[in-house]
Structure 1
């Protein structure tokens, strides 16, 4: 199945996703892109009340529904206040180190549709001026945004239409290398969403009908903890497709599909995880099984929200998560191939449903 993946298509949709700003809570534009792409493939997208998307794929059997989720929302920020000198104080959206966004380019998105470029800096941005610039602790209180506009006062900034509560997105700086490496912000989880669309394109092009009906949930609040807290009640099991972490005592690499056995929400379903490992071996995929103690997923949110489901977590290995991230195309191909194998042969039979 891996050889049948339309790699050019997956790269194209991933690049479009990466170039569309979508910090948590500001996902209307990227959801239009998702809906348009689903329609091109012959699928319709419906919305939950909080703006998550659901794409349904009919299966050979209708009595069970398998959910697959990925999130398009990313890390970002909001304008906290306008400072007297015309710079902006901001508050973070999602969990990241302030040092990971220092000196990065960003955009401020006003509520009337305008956007303005800026740069994230500390309040002591020059070692030629401030003797303690190197030692300054990087935290929200000492970070600000320098706008690329001629502003020197609060009123100057307000004349641009910028107000408290406006969203701020980070420049992804996406690069697709000829050797297969992909480096960009927000591969968490736009690489996972691209994998889901790679799966949809494969199913459509090859006229493959999954064993059971699929519902793909494209969530918009995962980075703030409640992306898939609501699931359609007909979903029996959910695979969250999100990035695999790397480092410390983890075995995942940028070439692997990660299979997470446990994260901060606890162990994932034993049968589902075992089946994913079995399929990865059978399909001869490069994979890793790891435990992520500082990690939570859409599946975590669904379980904590009270969903009566089995759940698992897979995704492409990503280095330097919540910073300047990098993966390899092979990790995305391995993820798509594992998902394709699973939707054709899920772990639970009709007889074992409800075990």
Structure 2
């Protein structure tokens, strides 16, 4: 099976360039809507802002759901300092040191965008004797704006206020050897895999056995992205990143099939089928357990949805930090989705 690699890369690159911290989804969902329309599939939105893409199946009576989240880690302006810098509050869970020195953008409520840099409050060893020892918590970070500001009044004159979103520069790089490094591969790599899935069906005039509903959530990092899903979905497979490290098997070139995460075991039959298909179709896969991980399926189950659930995705190194994956893992994830829904 040949998946359109250039298409998947183009979609992923475009997704990474559009800021979308949890809840700040309007621009990226407009892009997704436009791309789905080009493929000829139906796109709808929920009241919460999530997207639902419908791909008609050959048989009626059963609906397979596939989900991925387009929201990312980010921050909000917590307060404005008298010096003209900004204090932060996190959107999503990450270590403070992973954003130290990062370029960022502040998005005002009236649509203005300002550049800045995230620094500690003791950013220079030439000035602060204990700069190296300063605790790396968000309370000790601030945004230095690339504007001529030196007071809270001058910041507010720009239109910046408490509660404005802050997005992190993804710094995406695509290498000839297949590696891709960027922030927010969790889970824009999963969304790109779903677009590869749709493009493959559309280009080859394929129709899945059962109707497929693709759910794009915009609050997954908050834990409630898919707490509501269309009620006619019978099973839901989250397409999210595979974590790496410690005693985990997954690498950046493999598809992760999750047997259990912090929300408990995934559906026994779905996991078995994913493993069997991977073996039969020679998909480069591993099975792993993620004790500190939750997915859109986890949220859907907690929301009371009567579904079977599964979780797969490309291996991603250094999740919620400076992430890296490999194009082969994304393409193999797409292939597994095509085989699973055939």
What does the per-residue CA deviation read over 1:90-122, in whole Å, with 9 as the maximum and x for residues that have no partner? 100000000000000000000111100000000
Question: What is the 5 A alignment of 1:148-297?
Answer: 148-297=146-295
The answer for the alignment partner of 1:80 in structure 2 is 78
The answer for the alignment partner of 1:341 in structure 2 is 339
Task: State how far apart, in whole Å, the 2-side matches of 1:178 and 1:247 are.
Answer: 25
Task: State how far apart, in whole Å, the 2-side matches of 1:91 and 1:115 are.
Answer: 18
Provide the aligned length of Structure 1 versus Structure 2: 342
The answer to whether the 8 Å contact 2:42/2:55 transfers is no
Task: State how far apart, in whole Å, the 2-side matches of 1:162 and 1:140 are.
Answer: 19
SS in 2 for 1:252: coil
The answer to whether the 8 Å contact 2:43/2:52 transfers is yes
Task: State how far apart, in whole Å, the 2-side matches of 1:289 and 1:131 are.
Answer: 48
The answer for the alignment partner of 1:309 in structure 2 is 307
The answer for the alignment partner of 1:321 in structure 2 is 319
The answer for the alignment partner of 1:144 in structure 2 is 142
TM-score after normalising by structure 1: 0.96
The answer for the alignment partner of 1:91 in structure 2 is 89
RMSD of the alignment, in Å? 0.5
SS in 2 for 1:340: helix
Task: State how far apart, in whole Å, the 2-side matches of 1:114 and 1:249 are.
Answer: 45
What does the per-residue CA deviation read over 1:228-283, in whole Å, with 9 as the maximum and x for residues that have no partner? 00011100000000000000000000000100000000000000000000000111
Task: State how far apart, in whole Å, the 1-side matches of 2:133 and 2:260 are.
Answer: 37
The answer for the alignment partner of 2:105 in structure 1 is 107
Q: CA deviation at 1:62?
A: 1.6
Instruction: Point out where structure 2 has 5 or more consecutive residues left out of the alignment.
Output: none
SS in 2 for 1:134: helix
What does the per-residue CA deviation read over 1:255-313, in whole Å, with 9 as the maximum and x for residues that have no partner? 00100000000000000000000000111011010000000000000000000000000
Q: CA deviation at 1:65?
A: 0.3
SS in 2 for 1:34: helix
Q: CA deviation at 1:131?
A: 1.0
The answer to whether the 8 Å contact 2:104/2:116 transfers is yes
| Residue from 119, 129, 141 that aligns with 2:127 | 129
The alignment status of 1:19 with 2:17, answered yes or no, reads yes
Q: CA deviation at 1:44?
A: 2.2
Task: State how far apart, in whole Å, the 2-side matches of 1:175 and 1:141 are.
Answer: 31
Task: State how far apart, in whole Å, the 2-side matches of 1:224 and 1:144 are.
Answer: 23
The answer to whether the 8 Å contact 2:257/2:287 transfers is yes
Q: CA deviation at 1:184?
A: 0.2
The answer to whether the 8 Å contact 2:16/2:170 transfers is yes
The answer to whether the 8 Å contact 2:260/2:290 transfers is yes
The answer to whether the 8 Å contact 2:103/2:168 transfers is yes
Task: State how far apart, in whole Å, the 2-side matches of 1:171 and 1:187 are.
Answer: 13
